[in-house]
Amino acid sequence: MSSEPMDSIPRDEQLAARLRQAVRSQQVPPELQVKIRQRLDAEQQRQEQGVWRAAVWVPAAAALILCISAGVAYQQGHLRLTAGQRESFMNSMLVKVSTTMRPGLDDHLHCSVYGRVPDTIPPLAQAVKDLPPQFAEVLTVVQQQAPQSFQLYSAHLCTRRGRKFVHFQLKSESKLLSVIITRRNVEESFVRDQILPELQEHGVALYEARAARFQMAAIETRDYLAYVVSDLGGAENRKLMLAMAPGIQSVLRKLES
Amino acid sequence: MEHGLSGRQLFVEQLKPAAKAESTRAEFEAEAMPHVNDLFRTAARILGDGTRAEDVVQEVYLQAWKSYHRFEAGTNCRAWLFRILFHCINHHRRKWFRFPLLKESEEFLEANLVAPPPTIDHLTDAEILAALDRIPDEFRAVILLVDVEEFAYKDAATILSLPLGTVMSRISRGRKLLRAQLQSVAESYGIGKKLAKEQGL
């Protein structure tokens, strides 16, 4: 670093030299370098300990977070790898709702939650190829009333615990929605179970239940039970069922007559 | 096989972390330790207290070590350390006491000073240092950096985080103030008068 162009102020060399001599005559404590080295040693040790602590605690904390997340996910029904674990989860959900609600929830859990959900939505003709023709009108209702973010990926007839279900499966990016219709067994009735409807509108009595993240809304006719089961909130799920109920009831009554 | 790395580069890359830390520490000491005396003396003159100067210099080395990874090898380590020194001094100054700014009387003195070169050869180191200590801190800092430590104005400006023009003006005014202080010390011993008499003035 050259200073020549800048050092235009004449320096009193005699004064500067004398000043340098005086300043440099000051005694520097002989132990200063030792003290500095000791502080550097202490700092280095602290840094190394910090690195060691981080090396231990960061993986430990990560492992703990992983365990907790896995635990929470397991409680919510994820990470159930074996059939036994899945059945156990399904049973734990079913006991949270009334007997009449159970068939709909059971079919949703078995067929949608633990069933195969395609990554891409198949063409409609392929999605509905296993749908009994007498429920084709319900398909129209479902398509008209389902939220725009949901797309139908399957409409079929399935059997669960010896019972038949007509199952309309829809999915959005992260949520599942089922519209399920099944024949009512004699002993199954919200009315008989003295369950009060959540609301009654235009002659539709709507029943609701919730088990963990699964929200259910149901209606019953003389011979059938119809359910909407989803991961949506209570209000949204209810609104959906209310919108679909007249159309579904109309189809079911035709079938009953 | 040609790997494009020299033996030394390979050696450095293969060092274990602890060994690497040791090697960096050795490099740091080799670069920084030779300047400890200059730093201490400057700190002592600015702070007017050897014990505080010791504390500050230790702090300087600690700060320098912590930020040594940002130091570019081959650049001016001495100027870098002095910059940290003045940063630490400013920090401690706020903690310990407030330095008085240049008083009006001093401004008057330096503005009206006709500075005959004092006969400094007749003064002791202690008297010269005492005279230096009597000039205001902001001028003393610049004199210490430029006249004693022989930094270029540009470097002094960087170290003190001041504009170059301010450094130049302070060095000029500081030297005048110092000469005035030295002159008054010399005269108190009758040195200046005696010399003037000898010269027939």
More confident residue, A220 or A47: A220
Please check whether residue A82 lies inside any domain of the structure: no
The C-alpha atoms of residue A244 and residue A204 are separated, in whole angstroms, by: 11
Chain A contact probe: residue of B59, B128, B142, B168 with most A CBs at under 10 A: B128
**Which pLDDT score, from 0 to 100, does residue B119 have?**
58
More confident residue, B132 or B94: B132
My answer on whether A40 and A120 are in the same domain is no
The C-alpha atoms of residue B117 and residue B179 are separated, in whole angstroms, by: 7
More confident residue, B7 or B98: B98
3-state secondary structure of B55: helix
Cβ-based burial of B165 (10 A; exposed 0-12, middle 13-18, buried ≥19): exposed
Contact B77, B35 (CB under 8 A): yes
More confident residue, B125 or A8: B125
The pLDDT-based confidence of A57 (bands split at 50, 70, 90) is confident
Contact A153, A180 (CB under 8 A): no
The C-alpha atoms of residue B21 and residue A245 are separated, in whole angstroms, by: 73
pTM: 0.52
In percent, the amount of chain A with pLDDT more than 90 equals 65
**3-state SS of A201-251?**
ECCEEEEEEEECCEEEEEEECCCEEEEEEECCCHHHHHHHHHHHHHHHHHH
Please check whether residue A90 lies inside any domain of the structure: no
**Which pLDDT score, from 0 to 100, does residue B9 have?**
42
Enclosing domain of residue A60: 6-75
Residue B5 pLDDT greater than 50, yes or no: no
At A185-229, the pLDDT tens digits run 988 998 888 888 888 877 789 999 999 999 999 999 999 999 999
Please check whether residue A81 lies inside any domain of the structure: no
Please check whether residue A1 lies inside any domain of the structure: no
At A66-98, the pLDDT tens digits run 999 998 888 877 877 788 888 999 999 999 999
Least confident of A21-30, A185-194, B35-44, B113-122: B113-122
**Which pLDDT score, from 0 to 100, does residue A184 have?**
92
My answer on whether A175 and A252 are in the same domain is yes
Count CB-CB contacts under 10 A for residue A73: 12
**Please, which residues have CB within 8 angstroms of residue A252's CB and are 6 or more apart in sequence?**
A181, A221, A223, A224, A226
Judged by phi (left if over 0) then psi (alpha if -120 to 50, else beta), residue B118 lies in beta
- Please give the backbone phi and psi of residue A229, each rounded to the nearest 5 degrees, phi first: -120, 130
Provide ipTM, 2 decimals.
0.73
Structural domain count of chain A: 2
Q: CB distance A15–B178 less than 8 Å?
A: yes
The C-alpha atoms of residue A230 and residue B123 are separated, in whole angstroms, by: 96
Please check whether residue A205 lies inside any domain of the structure: yes
Which residues from B are below 8 Å from A19, CB to CB? 128, 132, 143, 147-148, 178
The C-alpha atoms of residue B178 and residue B188 are separated, in whole angstroms, by: 15
My answer on whether A113 and A15 are in the same domain is no
My answer on whether A171 and A62 are in the same domain is no
Please check whether residue A83 lies inside any domain of the structure: no
Chain A contact probe: residue of B37, B166, B177 with most A CBs at under 10 A: B37
Chain A contact probe: residue of B29, B175, B177 with most A CBs at under 10 A: B175
The pLDDT-based confidence of A137 (bands split at 50, 70, 90) is very high
**Which pLDDT score, from 0 to 100, does residue A146 have?**
93
CA-CA distances (angstroms) from residue B67 to A62, A83, A188, A229, B112? 30, 58, 76, 60, 46
Residue B195 pLDDT greater than 70, yes or no: no
Exposed e or buried b for every residue in A143-179, given b needs 16+ CB within 10 A?
Answer: bebbeeebbbbbbbebebeeeebbbbbbbbeeebbbb
Identify the CA nearest to A202 among candidates A237, A234, A243.
Answer: A243
CA-CA distances (angstroms) from residue A137 to A120, A232, A245, B31? 25, 24, 13, 86
The pLDDT-based confidence of A250 (bands split at 50, 70, 90) is very high
In percent, the amount of chain A with pLDDT more than 70 equals 96
The pLDDT-based confidence of B4 (bands split at 50, 70, 90) is very low
Which residues from A are below 8 Å from B148, CB to CB? 16, 19-20, 23-24
Q: Which residues of A touch B (CB under 8 A)?
A: 1-3, 6-7, 9, 11-12, 14-16, 18-26, 28-29, 32-33, 35-37, 39-40, 43-44, 48
My answer on whether A31 and A110 are in the same domain is no
Structure tokens at A257: 């007559």
Please check whether residue A174 lies inside any domain of the structure: yes
Residue positions counted in chain A: 257
My answer on whether A142 and A199 are in the same domain is yes
Structure tokens at B131: 């005279």
The C-alpha atoms of residue A196 and residue B196 are separated, in whole angstroms, by: 119
Of B45, B126, B154, the CB nearest to A3: B154
Residue A53 pLDDT greater than 90, yes or no: no
**Which pLDDT score, from 0 to 100, does residue B10 have?**
39
Q: What mean pLDDT do residues B4-13 have?
A: 41
Contact B128, A19 (CB under 8 A): yes
Residue B72 pLDDT greater than 50, yes or no: yes
Of B62, B148, B171, the CB nearest to A20: B148
My answer on whether A67 and A101 are in the same domain is no
Please check whether residue A37 lies inside any domain of the structure: yes
My answer on whether A145 and A216 are in the same domain is yes
My answer on whether A134 and A211 are in the same domain is yes
Identify the CA nearest to B149 among candidates B30, B32, B39.
Answer: B39
| Mean of all residue pLDDT scores within chain A | 89
**Which pLDDT score, from 0 to 100, does residue B54 have?**
94
Residue B64 pLDDT greater than 50, yes or no: yes
Residue A5 pLDDT greater than 80, yes or no: no
State the nearest Cα–Cα gap between B5 and chain A, in angstroms: 29
The C-alpha atoms of residue B53 and residue A213 are separated, in whole angstroms, by: 67
State the nearest Cα–Cα gap between B150 and chain A, in angstroms: 9
| Residues forming beta bridges with residue B135, ordered by sequence position | none
**Which pLDDT score, from 0 to 100, does residue B196 have?**
47
Residue A177 pLDDT greater than 90, yes or no: yes
Of B40, B150, B175, the CB nearest to A32: B40
Residue B102 pLDDT greater than 60, yes or no: no
Which residues from B are below 8 Å from A20, CB to CB? 147-148, 150
Which CATH number covers residue A195? 3.30.200.100
My answer on whether A147 and A248 are in the same domain is yes
My answer on whether A109 and A227 are in the same domain is yes
Residue of chain B nearest A30, judged by CA positions: B37
3-state secondary structure of A252: helix
My answer on whether A118 and A243 are in the same domain is yes
Q: What mean pLDDT do residues B17-28 have?
A: 74
